[in-house]
Homo-oligomer: A and B are copies of this chain.
Amino acid sequence: MLTIGTLAKKTGTKVQTIRYYEQIGLLPEPGRSSGGQRRYGDAELDRLSFVRHARQLGFSLEAIRELLDLSDHPDKSCAEADAIARRQLKQVEQRIARLEALQTELKRMVHECSGGHTADCRVLEVLRDHSECLTNHEEIGG
């Protein structure tokens, strides 16, 4: 039986995060000690490891919820899990493309900056005038 702190260490998760996952129903309510402290077994360790690993791969908690559900039903078709992973891959590819456009623009800004006063700083100039940009970077975020 593991305490929450031990589980946290084993999975590289913060204690609060584990309680948060329980709260939103991603992890089941564990057993308790006589004094009311959470006690975990191996099943919970595996489940939390799964969650953490999926998070590291960028899956949203909602996606992870679906993946866990699939994982709990070995007879279901694999297609759904596959679709979720493909969706995630697509998102990652889109983000890479977007970030690469930003990278290009930022590099250009930085390289053109000659180091004088802000009055004629290229960085600020480009920010002031979008038409100086080569790429379309409409969507926000990144």
Bound CA–CA A85/B123 (angstroms)? 7
User: Which stretch of A18-26, A34-42, A50-58 is in the interface?
Assistant: A50-58
Q: How many A residues have CB within 8 A of the partner chain? A: 62
- Is the C-beta of A3 less than 8 angstroms from some C-beta in chain B? no
B residues in contact with A128, CB < 8 Å: 46, 49-50, 53, 71
Question: Are the CB atoms of B76 and A117 closer together than 8 Å?
Answer: yes
Rounded to whole Å, the gap between the CB of A126 and the closest CB of chain B is 8
B residues in contact with A73, CB < 8 Å: 118
B residues in contact with A120, CB < 8 Å: 78
A71-126 interface with B by 8 A CB criterion: 71, 73-82, 84-86, 88-89, 92-93, 95-96, 99-100, 102-103, 105-107, 109-110, 113-121, 123-124
